[in-house]
Amino acid sequence: MTLPAEALDVSVLVPAKDEAPNLPEFVRLCAEALAPAGFSFEVVIVNDGSRDESAGVLRELERQYAFLRVVTHRRQRGIADALRSAGDVARGDVFVFYPADLQYLPADIPGLVAPILQGRADIVTGTKQGRYERAFVSRVYNALCRWLFGVRVADLNSVKAYRREVMLNVPLRPDWHRYMVVIAAADGFRLDALPVPLYPRKAGISKFNWRRIPVGVFDLVSVWFQLRFGRKPMLFFGVAGAILFLIGLSAGVIALVLRFGYGIGFRPLLNLVETMVISGIVLFGFGLLGEMIAGMQEETRAVARALARLEKLDVRD
Protein backbone atom coordinates (compact mmCIF):
# COMPACT_ATOMS: atom_id res chain seq x y z
CA MET A 1 0.00 0.00 0.00
CA THR A 2 1.40 3.38 -0.98
CA LEU A 3 0.84 6.70 0.70
CA PRO A 4 -0.33 9.20 -1.92
CA ALA A 5 0.84 12.80 -2.05
CA GLU A 6 -1.00 15.49 -0.09
CA ALA A 7 -1.56 13.24 2.89
CA LEU A 8 -4.58 14.00 5.05
CA ASP A 9 -5.46 13.33 8.67
CA VAL A 10 -8.50 11.08 8.21
CA SER A 11 -9.88 8.91 5.41
CA VAL A 12 -13.37 7.49 5.86
CA LEU A 13 -13.57 4.15 4.01
CA VAL A 14 -17.13 3.28 3.02
CA PRO A 15 -18.03 -0.08 1.41
CA ALA A 16 -21.39 0.28 -0.36
CA LYS A 17 -23.45 -2.43 -2.06
CA ASP A 18 -26.83 -1.36 -3.43
CA GLU A 19 -27.09 1.65 -1.14
CA ALA A 20 -28.22 4.24 -3.71
CA PRO A 21 -31.10 5.59 -1.54
CA ASN A 22 -28.74 6.16 1.42
CA LEU A 23 -25.67 7.60 -0.31
CA PRO A 24 -26.76 11.26 -0.79
CA GLU A 25 -27.81 11.58 2.84
CA PHE A 26 -24.68 9.83 4.07
CA VAL A 27 -22.33 12.11 2.13
CA ARG A 28 -24.27 15.21 3.21
CA LEU A 29 -23.99 14.16 6.86
CA CYS A 30 -20.26 13.55 6.39
CA ALA A 31 -19.86 17.12 5.12
CA GLU A 32 -21.80 18.51 8.08
CA ALA A 33 -19.96 16.44 10.69
CA LEU A 34 -16.37 16.48 9.41
CA ALA A 35 -15.92 19.94 7.87
CA PRO A 36 -15.94 21.70 11.29
CA ALA A 37 -14.11 18.88 13.10
CA GLY A 38 -10.66 20.49 12.89
CA PHE A 39 -8.83 17.88 10.84
CA SER A 40 -8.34 17.34 7.10
CA PHE A 41 -10.39 14.50 5.69
CA GLU A 42 -11.73 12.65 2.69
CA VAL A 43 -14.48 10.10 2.12
CA VAL A 44 -13.66 7.10 -0.08
CA ILE A 45 -16.75 5.15 -1.14
CA VAL A 46 -16.28 1.74 -2.75
CA ASN A 47 -19.12 0.76 -5.06
CA ASP A 48 -18.85 -2.98 -4.45
CA GLY A 49 -20.56 -4.37 -7.54
CA SER A 50 -23.88 -2.61 -6.93
CA ARG A 51 -26.80 -3.51 -9.22
CA ASP A 52 -28.94 -0.47 -8.40
CA GLU A 53 -28.39 3.19 -9.32
CA SER A 54 -25.37 3.62 -7.04
CA ALA A 55 -22.93 4.33 -9.90
CA GLY A 56 -24.95 7.27 -11.21
CA VAL A 57 -25.63 8.62 -7.73
CA LEU A 58 -21.92 8.52 -6.89
CA ARG A 59 -20.95 10.31 -10.12
CA GLU A 60 -23.31 13.14 -9.21
CA LEU A 61 -22.05 13.26 -5.63
CA GLU A 62 -18.43 13.46 -6.83
CA ARG A 63 -19.31 16.61 -8.73
CA GLN A 64 -20.91 18.15 -5.64
CA TYR A 65 -18.35 17.29 -2.95
CA ALA A 66 -14.61 17.85 -3.39
CA PHE A 67 -13.73 15.54 -0.49
CA LEU A 68 -15.42 12.50 -2.07
CA ARG A 69 -13.53 9.81 -3.97
CA VAL A 70 -15.12 6.75 -5.58
CA VAL A 71 -13.65 3.31 -6.25
CA THR A 72 -15.65 0.82 -8.31
CA HIS A 73 -15.60 -2.98 -8.20
CA ARG A 74 -17.09 -4.62 -11.29
CA ARG A 75 -18.43 -7.43 -9.11
CA GLN A 76 -19.12 -7.83 -5.42
CA ARG A 77 -15.89 -8.68 -3.63
CA GLY A 78 -16.89 -8.20 0.00
CA ILE A 79 -16.07 -5.73 2.74
CA ALA A 80 -12.47 -6.86 3.29
CA ASP A 81 -11.57 -6.31 -0.38
CA ALA A 82 -13.50 -3.03 -0.42
CA LEU A 83 -11.53 -1.74 2.56
CA ARG A 84 -8.29 -2.78 0.90
CA SER A 85 -9.22 -1.05 -2.38
CA ALA A 86 -10.21 2.10 -0.51
CA GLY A 87 -7.01 1.99 1.54
CA ASP A 88 -4.91 1.76 -1.60
CA VAL A 89 -6.11 5.19 -2.79
CA ALA A 90 -6.76 6.83 0.59
CA ARG A 91 -4.47 9.65 1.73
CA GLY A 92 -5.27 9.69 5.43
CA ASP A 93 -3.00 8.77 8.32
CA VAL A 94 -6.10 7.43 10.11
CA PHE A 95 -8.66 5.19 8.44
CA VAL A 96 -12.29 4.95 9.55
CA PHE A 97 -14.43 1.96 8.53
CA TYR A 98 -18.01 3.17 8.18
CA PRO A 99 -20.93 1.53 6.32
CA ALA A 100 -23.20 3.59 4.06
CA ASP A 101 -26.50 2.25 5.39
CA LEU A 102 -27.00 5.12 7.90
CA GLN A 103 -27.27 2.75 10.83
CA TYR A 104 -24.23 4.63 12.12
CA LEU A 105 -24.24 8.40 11.64
CA PRO A 106 -21.11 10.32 10.54
CA ALA A 107 -21.54 12.66 13.53
CA ASP A 108 -19.78 10.00 15.64
CA ILE A 109 -16.64 9.88 13.46
CA PRO A 110 -14.79 12.77 15.19
CA GLY A 111 -15.19 10.99 18.53
CA LEU A 112 -13.80 7.74 17.10
CA VAL A 113 -10.68 9.34 15.62
CA ALA A 114 -9.93 11.68 18.55
CA PRO A 115 -8.01 9.11 20.71
CA ILE A 116 -5.84 8.22 17.69
CA LEU A 117 -5.12 11.79 16.64
CA GLN A 118 -4.25 12.59 20.26
CA GLY A 119 -1.82 9.65 20.42
CA ARG A 120 -3.75 7.68 23.04
CA ALA A 121 -4.70 4.69 20.87
CA ASP A 122 -3.93 2.97 17.59
CA ILE A 123 -7.35 1.47 16.95
CA VAL A 124 -10.72 2.53 18.35
CA THR A 125 -13.77 0.33 17.96
CA GLY A 126 -17.35 1.44 18.44
CA THR A 127 -19.63 -0.30 20.91
CA LYS A 128 -23.15 -0.52 19.50
CA GLN A 129 -25.82 1.20 21.60
CA GLY A 130 -29.47 0.41 20.98
CA ARG A 131 -31.54 -2.47 19.63
CA TYR A 132 -30.51 -4.17 16.43
CA GLU A 133 -30.96 -7.34 14.42
CA ARG A 134 -28.56 -10.23 15.00
CA ALA A 135 -27.96 -9.08 18.60
CA PHE A 136 -27.77 -12.70 19.82
CA VAL A 137 -25.32 -13.70 17.07
CA SER A 138 -23.21 -10.63 17.83
CA ARG A 139 -23.11 -11.39 21.56
CA VAL A 140 -22.02 -14.99 20.92
CA TYR A 141 -19.36 -13.84 18.44
CA ASN A 142 -17.97 -11.21 20.82
CA ALA A 143 -17.98 -13.63 23.76
CA LEU A 144 -16.06 -16.25 21.73
CA CYS A 145 -13.53 -13.64 20.59
CA ARG A 146 -12.93 -12.41 24.13
CA TRP A 147 -12.47 -15.99 25.32
CA LEU A 148 -10.23 -17.16 22.48
CA PHE A 149 -8.14 -14.01 21.97
CA GLY A 150 -8.25 -12.36 25.39
CA VAL A 151 -9.22 -8.98 23.90
CA ARG A 152 -11.27 -7.08 26.48
CA VAL A 153 -13.40 -5.10 24.06
CA ALA A 154 -17.19 -5.38 24.27
CA ASP A 155 -17.92 -5.13 20.54
CA LEU A 156 -15.42 -6.27 17.90
CA ASN A 157 -17.73 -6.13 14.87
CA SER A 158 -18.71 -2.49 14.62
CA VAL A 159 -17.43 0.74 13.09
CA LYS A 160 -13.79 1.41 13.89
CA ALA A 161 -10.97 3.88 13.38
CA TYR A 162 -7.36 2.76 13.07
CA ARG A 163 -3.94 3.92 11.99
CA ARG A 164 -2.92 3.26 8.42
CA GLU A 165 -0.23 0.82 9.60
CA VAL A 166 -2.88 -1.50 11.03
CA MET A 167 -4.04 -2.31 7.48
CA LEU A 168 -0.59 -3.72 6.67
CA ASN A 169 -1.02 -6.37 9.37
CA VAL A 170 -4.46 -7.64 8.34
CA PRO A 171 -4.32 -10.49 5.79
CA LEU A 172 -6.32 -9.87 2.62
CA ARG A 173 -8.87 -12.64 3.19
CA PRO A 174 -12.65 -12.52 2.65
CA ASP A 175 -14.52 -11.38 5.80
CA TRP A 176 -11.35 -11.04 7.88
CA HIS A 177 -12.13 -7.35 8.47
CA ARG A 178 -14.15 -8.67 11.42
CA TYR A 179 -10.93 -9.76 13.10
CA MET A 180 -8.99 -6.53 12.53
CA VAL A 181 -9.16 -5.68 16.24
CA VAL A 182 -7.83 -9.02 17.50
CA ILE A 183 -5.09 -9.12 14.85
CA ALA A 184 -4.07 -5.55 15.73
CA ALA A 185 -4.04 -6.42 19.44
CA ALA A 186 -1.85 -9.46 18.75
CA ASP A 187 0.61 -7.16 16.94
CA GLY A 188 0.81 -4.82 19.93
CA PHE A 189 -1.41 -1.96 18.76
CA ARG A 190 -3.19 -0.06 21.53
CA LEU A 191 -6.97 -0.51 21.70
CA ASP A 192 -9.77 1.73 22.87
CA ALA A 193 -13.56 1.59 22.64
CA LEU A 194 -16.29 4.21 22.54
CA PRO A 195 -20.09 3.84 22.60
CA VAL A 196 -21.69 4.51 19.21
CA PRO A 197 -25.48 4.75 18.71
CA LEU A 198 -27.01 2.34 16.23
CA TYR A 199 -30.10 3.44 14.29
CA PRO A 200 -32.72 1.48 12.31
CA ARG A 201 -32.04 1.13 8.59
CA LYS A 202 -34.09 3.66 6.60
CA ALA A 203 -33.66 2.19 3.12
CA GLY A 204 -32.16 -0.86 1.44
CA ILE A 205 -31.82 -4.31 2.93
CA SER A 206 -29.32 -5.96 5.20
CA LYS A 207 -26.59 -8.01 3.50
CA PHE A 208 -26.44 -10.46 6.42
CA ASN A 209 -27.92 -13.94 6.05
CA TRP A 210 -27.73 -17.18 7.99
CA ARG A 211 -25.16 -18.66 5.56
CA ARG A 212 -22.54 -16.29 6.94
CA ILE A 213 -22.78 -17.82 10.44
CA PRO A 214 -20.91 -21.11 9.71
CA VAL A 215 -18.42 -19.15 7.56
CA GLY A 216 -17.81 -16.83 10.52
CA VAL A 217 -17.23 -19.79 12.85
CA PHE A 218 -14.62 -21.33 10.55
CA ASP A 219 -12.98 -17.92 10.08
CA LEU A 220 -12.84 -17.53 13.85
CA VAL A 221 -11.05 -20.87 14.23
CA SER A 222 -8.71 -20.03 11.35
CA VAL A 223 -7.76 -16.64 12.81
CA TRP A 224 -7.20 -18.18 16.25
CA PHE A 225 -5.01 -20.90 14.75
CA GLN A 226 -2.93 -18.42 12.76
CA LEU A 227 -2.46 -16.07 15.71
CA ARG A 228 -1.63 -18.96 18.03
CA PHE A 229 0.62 -20.98 15.73
CA GLY A 230 1.14 -18.92 12.57
CA ARG A 231 4.50 -17.53 13.65
CA LYS A 232 5.61 -20.72 15.43
CA PRO A 233 4.02 -23.62 13.51
CA MET A 234 6.44 -26.07 15.07
CA LEU A 235 4.53 -25.61 18.35
CA PHE A 236 1.59 -27.38 16.75
CA PHE A 237 2.96 -29.67 14.07
CA GLY A 238 6.21 -30.49 15.86
CA VAL A 239 4.58 -31.31 19.20
CA ALA A 240 1.77 -33.29 17.54
CA GLY A 241 4.30 -35.16 15.41
CA ALA A 242 6.51 -35.93 18.39
CA ILE A 243 3.55 -37.26 20.38
CA LEU A 244 2.43 -39.53 17.55
CA PHE A 245 5.99 -40.74 17.02
CA LEU A 246 6.34 -41.58 20.72
CA ILE A 247 3.01 -43.43 20.67
CA GLY A 248 4.20 -45.44 17.67
CA LEU A 249 7.57 -46.12 19.32
CA SER A 250 5.89 -47.30 22.54
CA ALA A 251 3.50 -49.51 20.59
CA GLY A 252 6.47 -50.93 18.68
CA VAL A 253 8.26 -51.84 21.92
CA ILE A 254 5.08 -53.52 23.22
CA ALA A 255 4.71 -55.43 19.94
CA LEU A 256 8.31 -56.70 20.16
CA VAL A 257 7.84 -57.80 23.77
CA LEU A 258 4.64 -59.64 22.93
CA ARG A 259 6.16 -61.26 19.84
CA PHE A 260 9.51 -62.41 21.22
CA GLY A 261 8.67 -62.64 24.90
CA TYR A 262 5.30 -64.33 24.78
CA GLY A 263 5.06 -65.59 21.20
CA ILE A 264 2.00 -63.46 20.52
CA GLY A 265 1.73 -61.83 17.11
CA PHE A 266 -0.84 -59.01 16.93
CA ARG A 267 -1.17 -57.57 13.42
CA PRO A 268 -3.34 -54.51 14.34
CA LEU A 269 -0.64 -53.40 16.78
CA LEU A 270 1.92 -53.45 13.96
CA ASN A 271 -0.43 -51.34 11.82
CA LEU A 272 -0.75 -48.87 14.69
CA VAL A 273 3.04 -48.60 14.92
CA GLU A 274 3.36 -47.92 11.20
CA THR A 275 0.56 -45.32 11.20
CA MET A 276 1.79 -43.45 14.27
CA VAL A 277 5.46 -43.34 13.26
CA ILE A 278 4.76 -42.24 9.67
CA SER A 279 2.19 -39.64 10.81
CA GLY A 280 4.60 -38.29 13.39
CA ILE A 281 7.41 -37.90 10.86
CA VAL A 282 5.06 -36.22 8.34
CA LEU A 283 3.71 -33.75 10.92
CA PHE A 284 7.21 -32.93 12.09
CA GLY A 285 8.16 -32.26 8.48
CA PHE A 286 5.14 -29.96 8.12
CA GLY A 287 6.37 -28.11 11.18
CA LEU A 288 9.81 -27.53 9.65
CA LEU A 289 8.24 -26.36 6.37
CA GLY A 290 5.88 -24.09 8.31
CA GLU A 291 8.81 -22.54 10.19
CA MET A 292 10.48 -21.64 6.90
CA ILE A 293 7.26 -20.10 5.55
CA ALA A 294 6.70 -18.18 8.79
CA GLY A 295 10.24 -16.82 8.56
CA MET A 296 9.62 -15.56 5.04
CA GLN A 297 6.33 -13.96 6.13
CA GLU A 298 8.12 -12.11 8.93
CA GLU A 299 10.68 -10.81 6.45
CA THR A 300 7.88 -9.69 4.11
CA ARG A 301 6.11 -7.85 6.94
CA ALA A 302 9.35 -6.15 7.94
CA VAL A 303 9.96 -4.99 4.36
CA ALA A 304 6.36 -3.72 4.07
CA ARG A 305 6.66 -1.75 7.30
CA ALA A 306 10.00 -0.26 6.24
CA LEU A 307 8.59 0.78 2.86
CA ALA A 308 5.55 2.35 4.52
CA ARG A 309 7.80 4.39 6.82
CA LEU A 310 9.98 5.53 3.92
CA GLU A 311 6.96 6.51 1.81
CA LYS A 312 5.50 8.44 4.69
CA LEU A 313 8.76 10.30 5.24
CA ASP A 314 8.97 11.12 1.52
CA VAL A 315 5.47 12.59 1.58
CA ARG A 316 6.12 14.63 4.73
CA ASP A 317 9.38 16.01 3.27
What is the residue range of 144's domain? 8-227
Domain closes at, from 227, 249, 264: 227
CA atoms within 13 A on the CB side of 144: 17
Indicate the pairing of strand 68-73 with strand 41-48.
Answer: parallel
* Same structural domain, 255 and 213: no
Spatial separation of the C-alpha atoms in residues 20 and 70, rounded to whole Å: 13
Nearest alpha-carbon partner for 64 in 24, 120, 13? 24
* Same structural domain, 239 and 215: no
pLDDT for 209 = 53
CB atoms within 10 A of CB 210: 8
* Same structural domain, 178 and 293: no
Residue 50 lies in a domain: yes
State the total domains in the chain: 2
Contact 167, 97 (CB under 8 A): no
Q: Which residues contact 292 (CB under 8 A, 6 or more apart)?
A: none
* Same structural domain, 273 and 210: no
The pLDDT tens digits for 242-254 are: 888 888 888 888 8
For the sheet with 68-73, list strands across it. 68-73, 41-48, 8-16, 92-97, 160-163, 123-129, 191-197
The pLDDT tens digits for 279-311 are: 888 888 887 787 777 677 667 766 766 776 666
Spatial separation of the C-alpha atoms in residues 67 and 27, rounded to whole Å: 10
* Same structural domain, 217 and 78: yes
Residue 176 lies in a domain: yes
What is the value of pTM for the model shown? Answer: 0.73
* Same structural domain, 54 and 154: yes
- H or E segment at 77? none
The pLDDT tens digits for 69-103 are: 999 998 888 888 888 889 889 989 999 999 988 88
Residue 185: what residue type? Answer: A
Phi and psi (nearest 5°) for 104? Answer: -115, 135
pLDDT for 312 = 57
pLDDT for 208 = 55
DSSP 41-63: EEEEEEEES--SSHHHHHHHHHH
Domain closes at, from 227, 248, 272: 227
pLDDT for 204 = 58
Spatial separation of the C-alpha atoms in residues 96 and 3, rounded to whole Å: 16
Phi and psi (nearest 5°) for 73? Answer: -100, 130
Domain closes at, from 197, 227, 257: 227
Spatial separation of the C-alpha atoms in residues 43 and 66, rounded to whole Å: 10
Write out residues in the chain with pLDDT < 70, as ranges.
1-6, 132-137, 169, 171-176, 203-216, 231, 265-266, 294, 297-298, 301-302, 304-305, 308-317
